[in-house]
Amino acid sequence: MKNIHIDIETFSDIDLNKCGVYRYAESSAFEILLFGYAVDSDPVTIIDLAQGEKIPEEILDALTDDSVTKWAFNANFERICLSRYLRDLGRSLDPFRDRHPLSTETAMFLNPAGWRCSMVWAATMGLPLSLKDVGNILKLEEQKMDEGKTLIKYFSVPCAPTKVNGGRTRNLPSDNIEKWKTFKAYNRRDVEVEMAIQEKLSGFPVPESVWDEYHIDQEINDRGVRVDMQLVDNAISMDSRSRKELTAAMRKITALDNPNSVHQMKQWLADNGLETDTLGKKAVAALLKDAPTELAEVLTLRQQLAKSSVKKYQAMENCVCADGRCHGMFQFYGANRTGRWAGRLIQLQNLPQNHLPDLTQARALVRSGDFDSIKLLYEDVPDTLSQLIRTAFIPKENHKFYVADFSAIEARVIAWYAGEKWRQEVFEKGGDIYCASASQMFHVPVEKHGVNGHLRQKGKIAELALGYGGSVGALKSMGALEMGLSEDELQPLVSAWRQTNPHIVKFWWDVDRAVTDAVNHKRISHSYGLTFFYKSGMLFITLPSGRNLVYVKPKIGTNRFGGQCITYEGVGATKKWERIDSYGPKFVENIVQATSRDILCSSMKTLRHCSIVMHIHDELVIEADSRVSLDVLCKQMSRTPDWTSGLNLRADGYICDFYKKS
């Protein structure tokens, strides 16, 4: 026995989508209904646990044997659910740890090292994170059964009691034996489809280094991060009270039935002489600049009510587990064009920033439930609660958070690839890239808070918006006009940045030519430490790390401006599988972000012995006691992988009692 291919069907009274599998599997109502499996290439076997069948002993033994590889599509679900199942049977999940004389705690989850995920394999090939969609795209002979959603709704979640169903709150196999037979067939088919996907992708194996990264990811999700539930509960309560007061204040001024209605509010503003097509955040901010006093008051109230960040507190409340920690917040290879992580449940990738000078005091007031003091001292209660979201994450007792992140990693990586020497020299000397960029663009010295300091902002927005082929539209999207730049300044800013960075501009179009040549003529080319080639209907770009970026069914097409471009199939802006336009600078963006991701993974491997609890973009958060040296940790994180010769990295960090932006 080398491999077991697994798919399970389960029941729980916890909402899986809202709460995640870790909380889902904790429910007292949780059970595994069906256990479908195939050993190596044997036919699929279905164990009907709901009707009293038992999983064979040799299969139970294999689940805790790391020499037997367990495969599943979205394997995290099967691994966590089976961990609960085995614990309920009284079986040890980690015999070595539990029998070791120095062991202090029992393993809660099966060792990720014994598991591999066919969803991750599909993602590395540029395919979607859905079993059904992958099967369709690969044109498998056997496809996932369409009845699945209906059957899961019938057997896997509670049902509403009615006269027709005799007032029951759950459907059992005996309630509809024909549906149950179909459910078993559905379970069998899922295992068959998963195995067929692996067979189809067998010519493109996932590198062992990527599987190692996946196992680290699973360890981090298993470890979770502690949440201050006293703060969370009081923040939710305060937000509810604040919303009632703000809505009442708006209703008093406007006399509207529902002042939160966009339609009613736009009509009220129009009736009072202020026309607007939208009440989006940027539009309201722009309207506030010239609005009369009464209208400005209403718009300000609307701004405060529009704060949606409190939803993250509710997400914490939903997914926190019995150990007081939130688990499962990171989706490995969630962004499959670069291999970066995607956020799940609480969505850590877009946390609001904190700028309160007295963050600790504000946090203490919310934690104690002192609404009146918060309102008196900070006025904008929703904004204050929003700024405190990060602080809800706390280390365990007698530990602190060590937060370390890479300084300007994408700017460093693109300069390294392109050989933009002046930028590399700035990084080697520890300079400020925004000041240096402004200095190069405007041919004058620029110092932060010093000589020509006002130009730094222009350097910053140019750096953020223009590195991947962006032009005037990109500057506007980055908020250039809101920052005080005029429309007339934008095109000269684009031109100045490109003239200052000729090697980066050349990098864009060299990559464009290499990609076009690979797709058009099926030729392999090597440049900038990258390899471009076409194989089996896919475009591959091999990064210096050895990892591939993969683009499905590429061809030469026409963009919306009538020019030639590369198109390929992928999950687009609509979140659907579609044909996507791309060109040199966009491929460069993928390459740079993917390389930055690989560097972060290298640091995670270096610091694997530390307790990494979170990672947000290019930042690691480690839970450790105060004996740990921050300087040593940052130096370890700054170690360059052996495939990045000549790249200058720097990691900066700080220590805190709750998570925050320093």
Domains of the chain listed by start with CATH number:
3-206 (3.30.420.10), 223-394 (no CATH), 400-408+530-662 (3.30.70), 421-500 (no CATH)
**Taking the CB of residue 439, how many other CB atoms lie within 10 A of it?**
23
Please say whether the beta carbons of 579 and 567 come within 8 A. Answer: yes
Please say whether the beta carbons of 427 and 649 come within 8 A. Answer: no
For strand 577-582 and strand 612-616, is the pairing parallel, antiparallel, or unpaired?
Answer: unpaired
What pLDDT was estimated at residue 105? 62
Of 594, 572, 567, 571, give the one whose Cα is nearest residue 582: 567
What is the C-alpha separation between 407 and 409, in angstroms, rounded?
5
Strands, E, within 271-388: which ranges?
A: 325-326, 330-335, 340-343
Task: Give 611's DSSP letter.
Answer: -
What is the C-alpha separation between 394 and 628, in angstroms, rounded?
17
Please say whether the beta carbons of 569 and 577 come within 8 A. Answer: yes
Please say whether the beta carbons of 595 and 649 come within 8 A. Answer: no
Q: Quick one: residue 652, left, alpha or beta (phi over 0 = left, psi -120 to 50 = alpha)?
A: beta
For the chain, the distance separating the N- and C-terminal CA atoms, rounded to the nearest angstrom, is: 51
**Taking the CB of residue 67, how many other CB atoms lie within 10 A of it?**
8
H helix intervals, 467-501: 472-477, 487-500
pLDDT mean for each 10 residues of the chain (662 residues): 97 97 98 98 97 97 94 98 95 64 68 96 96 94 91 96 93 97 97 96 96 96 97 95 90 89 89 87 84 88 79 95 97 93 93 91 97 92 94 97 95 96 93 91 90 87 91 88 84 92 97 96 95 96 97 90 88 90 95 97 94 95 94 94 94 96 84
Please say whether the beta carbons of 234 and 316 come within 8 A. Answer: no
What pLDDT was estimated at residue 286? 83
What is the C-alpha separation between 530 and 26, in angstroms, rounded?
46
Amino acid at 13: D
